[in-house]
A and B are shown apart, each in its own frame.
Chain A
């Protein structure tokens, strides 16, 4: 008998993906899509230089966001796990980290706009302090703004799994390292980081897939000026080009799967958990 889980996965995961694959070979007119088996959508996708720029841009966002969220996330988790002694405080501070998540993603993102704008709070403050004479233009509607929003939105996805693995590290290992004469940096590098790898990897997968699949953050924070693959797909859907949107989605899916496949080469999550 097919287990319920398999049935659910088949209906809600496999079937939609199969449909997307099928539609990606169809043909579109302005108001309808016609079943066909053509490679036109893929030919146009791979034939356009913009596609490569956009994929490159998607990787750029993912990589930079990953670096920042890892740095910040690791630091926060480290502080929570090793510097805060009492469990009550650990939990309290951990909950504090989640407060921004009580409002919606989009609101957290949009609230940056008045802050970073040409006449926004950041520029007004810097001018009143005499740090700058002219408003800084690249604060808003730029790659800077996009990455800032990504880091803000997704750092917690790094903190949680890293904190989780750190809490499971046997404290006696650290004491043993210290007794053996290791200094703080050596303990961090040779004991804590290797043992935190699964957490880092899970956080990495979260952040990378979220950033690669995002479109709304890029649209709002870049003022529609930059694009990643998600935005390409959302534009195509908006213009009723479902088959080409499907083709782009399939290419993105394959790209993300390859990326995760490579990531999983570094750490065997199953073994470590």
Chain B
């Protein structure tokens, strides 16, 4: 149960490489010369798992087309993803996980550090994932910001370092600013604060997500907005602060404020689309999914700002030889723009916006990234109409939205205590 495979040493990896193919062993940066093993790579199968947000079959199909090898995708809910990354290192090659999950599982040694010199577009990766600064003037939001768990000390590092060390824990791919989703048609008035989630007006019509590291941050936003308490650092609460936060929500739960809690993306879509819930924690593509059913749904920007998250790709420690090369090639392909464009059209941000731009129309780029009014219909990657001419993205441009981020999904020092309290909240 707690048997973890040890991180591969470089020597062993090189040895295995040599055994697999002498041609590959010759050059360490294989990316420049993929043709050498073009025949072998067709047999490679990489197994990727992650949350539903980016584990898309379209991506697997495109990989087959562009790179020639098979990518097998498994979509799980956030908690199951964490569980698998921590306990089943042999069940995956690529882990598509969030940074807060990385903080939980990195020390287990199931993922291997990635050499940034092998990442073609490393220099184009957004500042948020490298220095932590969105723009040189930005302040860093509270919580588990991606750059704090994005780098490790070396090839075999199990620690986190705060500078760009050349060894990344995850290669960033995707991020976004989250807020509350609302049904404007059923609420009928403007919503501008997080505290509205616990407004008795929405008794029995509110929902919050049942994923502790994310939910606790939504709770903290609400508690601060209600004026109940201001956290010195809501990304790292003390036991008393956890008690206070969860206490307020337990009381609301017992008063019947919530209709349901949700755990997976599609549950949140159903709750909103069926009108069971009119205000809730939500993720961007869930809004898209509700809208594409023709039901009005707004990702409401709020005065207090956004809760943010970021995700990236990690490589299994067990991976070596041609599979490892294929994994690097896959990650380079991932950052080269096609996936980024796809994700941006769903309302996420690509970690390498520059390359994604080439795979989006000027109108799409203007709408999703620059916050400009759409000139024509804005379609989702699957072809559903999301916005018509003249409409503007909720929350505006990239800089307005990501610039208003006040906290990241977090794993706190008191995480153990928090998850127990969270479990009590759900059971209360």
Smallest CB–CB gap between B273 and chain A, Å? 10
Distance A47 CA – B195 CA, assembled complex (angstroms): 32
Q: B259 contacts A141, CB within 8 Å? A: yes
Category for how many chain A residues contact B = 35 or more
Q: A239 contacts B422, CB within 8 Å? A: yes
Q: Which of A96-104, A173-181, A201-209, A224-232 contacts B (4 or more CB under 8 A)?
A: A224-232
Q: B108 contacts A117, CB within 8 Å? A: no
Residue with the greatest number of chain B CB neighbours at <10 A, chosen from A33, A224, A232? A224
Q: A235 contacts B259, CB within 8 Å? A: no
Distance A224 CA – B275 CA, assembled complex (angstroms): 17
Q: Which residues of A contact B271 (CB under 8 A)?
A: 223
Given known A31-B86, A118-B275, A141-B260, contact A48–B1 (CB-CB < 8 A):
no
Distance A114 CA – B273 CA, assembled complex (angstroms): 11
Q: Which residues of B contact A32 (CB under 8 A)?
A: 2, 4, 86, 108
Q: How many residues of B contact A (CB 8 A)?
A: 40
Indicate which residue in A48, A231, A238 contacts B83 across the interface (CB closer than 8 Å).
A238
Indicate which residue in B2, B79, B261 contacts A33 across the interface (CB closer than 8 Å).
B2
Indicate which residue in B104, B261, B416, B427 contacts A223 across the interface (CB closer than 8 Å).
B261
Q: Which residues of B contact A241 (CB under 8 A)?
A: 419-420, 423
Distance A33 CA – B3 CA, assembled complex (angstroms): 10
Task: Check if A28 is an interface residue, CB within 8 A of chain B.
Answer: yes
Indicate which residue in B1, B86, B104, B262 contacts A224 across the interface (CB closer than 8 Å).
B262
Given known A141-B259, A232-B427, contact A242–B419 (CB-CB < 8 A):
no
Q: Which residues of B contact A137 (CB under 8 A)?
A: 204
Task: Check if A162 is an interface residue, CB within 8 A of chain B.
Answer: no
Q: Which residues of A contact B274 (CB under 8 A)?
A: 114, 117-120
Q: Which residues of A contact B207 (CB under 8 A)?
A: 223
Q: A235 contacts B423, CB within 8 Å? A: yes
Q: Quick one: which of B121-141 are within 8 Å of A by CB?
A: none
Task: Check if B25 is an interface residue, CB within 8 A of chain A.
Answer: no
Distance A241 CA – B274 CA, assembled complex (angstroms): 34
Smallest CB–CB gap between B292 and chain A, Å? 19
Q: B263 contacts A224, CB within 8 Å? A: yes
Minimum CB distance partner of A57 in chain B: B427
Q: A227 contacts B83, CB within 8 Å? A: no
Q: A223 contacts B260, CB within 8 Å? A: yes
Given known A23-B1, A242-B1, contact A227–B427 (CB-CB < 8 A):
yes
Task: Check if A183 is an interface residue, CB within 8 A of chain B.
Answer: no
Taken residue by residue from 20 to 42, chain A's Cβ proximity to chain B (1 for < 8 Å, 0 otherwise) reads as: 00010000111111100000000
Q: Quick one: which of B85-107 are within 8 Å of A by CB?
A: 86-87, 104-105, 107
Q: A30 contacts B411, CB within 8 Å? A: yes
Task: Check if B258 is an interface residue, CB within 8 A of chain A.
Answer: yes
Task: Check if B185 is an interface residue, CB within 8 A of chain A.
Answer: no
Smallest CB–CB gap between A236 and chain B, Å? 6
Smallest CB–CB gap between A34 and chain B, Å? 8
Task: Check if B33 is an interface residue, CB within 8 A of chain A.
Answer: no
Distance A28 CA – B83 CA, assembled complex (angstroms): 13
Smallest CB–CB gap between A222 and chain B, Å? 8
Q: A239 contacts B419, CB within 8 Å? A: yes
Give the 3 A-B CB pairs with smallest separation, nearest first: A223-B260, A227-B427, A224-B261
Residues of A within 8 A of B (CB): 23, 28-34, 44, 48, 50, 53-54, 113-114, 117-120, 137, 140-141, 222-225, 227, 231-232, 235-242, 244
